[in-house]
Amino acid sequence: MRVVDVGQRTTQWHEWRRGGVSASNAAVILGSSPFKTPWRLWGEIRGVLPVDDLSKNPWVRHGIVHEPYARQWFEEEYDTIALPICAESSVNSIIRASFDGIQHQGRPLEIKCPSTSNFEDVVVNRMASKGYRLYYPQVQHQIAVAGADMGYLVFYHPSHSPVVFEIQREDSFIDMMLDRELDFWEMVQTGKAPPKDPERDHYTPEDAVRVQWAMFADQLKRVDADLVRAMQTVKVCKEQRETIRDELVALMGGYVSAKADGISITRYIQDGSIDWKAVAMQFDPDLSDEKYGAYRKAGGGRVRLTVDTDATTDSASLDEVLDEMRGGIWF
């Protein structure tokens, strides 16, 4: 392990992390992270996709605030000193880690400060919990960088006793993980993107399909503009209709119905709808969404369409897209 003199969460630290594969990338590259896909990570490192700013995320800030307390608890509990450092593997400098702590025997410490519900999941399900399974690759990556025989994964909650997992080095897992990480880094270097996840990554049209997409996008923006104008007209007409209706009702005096000149009016009282969820909660205060599942009707597919009228297709106008393709095999 080669220690790198860079402060965590500084500008220099972010630049250093982009120069290799860090421990937090391990689960992403292995496809086990629910937060990010390999393609998304590849795009962020390549600079073709924006990097999410997590500095204002409440749980990220929660972790930053409580991490020193968790480290202090660990040091007292294990009678050791855990130094937060950054380092690169002595075997391959591309493999990197920002340690929450390295104790005197060279074993890494990874600290997590989850929400109460996620902490309870760890307490109850232990190694089968989502948290343990998500962060296991991260700790194995840190073990590989440190050249250690084991590492510590600590789940800390200010209102409960911390949960500590002493994770032994698993060479077969590390070999597999490092192979995947180096393959991923080769893709970063060559610009060859990893396969996209159809359920999590955005579809991006290419080649001939891109031309079709651009044409439909242009049509859709025009139709939406017409729709906005039509809806504005409808709104005005509805307001005028309600005004005229009120004038006619005023002319009726005490009558509940009227009919003349092709206009029929009936006044009546309509009962309000019943809030059935509130009724159910009245009889069963502990009723949860899971209990509602037995009474839920079958769902169906939906498509949500959003149009950004200020955006052009892939940063190019329709004419520019067509110009790109002229002279190609489609024209």
Split at pLDDT 50, 70, 90, the class of 316 is very low
Mean pLDDT of 33-49: 96
CATH 3.20.20.70 applies to domain 2-190: no
Distance CA 102, CA 86 (A): 10
Distance CA 243, CA 234 (A): 14
Question: Where exactly are the structural domains of the chain?
Answer: 2-190, 207-325
Tell me which amino acid residue 235 is.
Answer: K
Q: How far is CA 186 from CA 20, 31, 68, 124, 191, in A?
A: 11, 17, 36, 40, 8
Distance CA 84, CA 4 (A): 11
Helix or strand holding residue 101 (H, E): strand 101-102
CB 29 within 8 A of CB 21: yes
106-126 tens-digit pLDDT: 999 999 999 999 999 999 999
Tell which wins on pLDDT, 319 or 286.
286
CB 25 within 8 A of CB 18: no
Query: Per-residue pLDDT for 330 more than 50?
Result: no
Q: What is the pLDDT of residue 327?
A: 44
Split at pLDDT 50, 70, 90, the class of 265 is very high
163-200 tens-digit pLDDT: 999 999 999 999 999 999 999 999 999 999 999 999 99
Of 11-20, 44-53, 301-310, the least confident: 301-310
Helix or strand holding residue 260 (H, E): strand 257-260
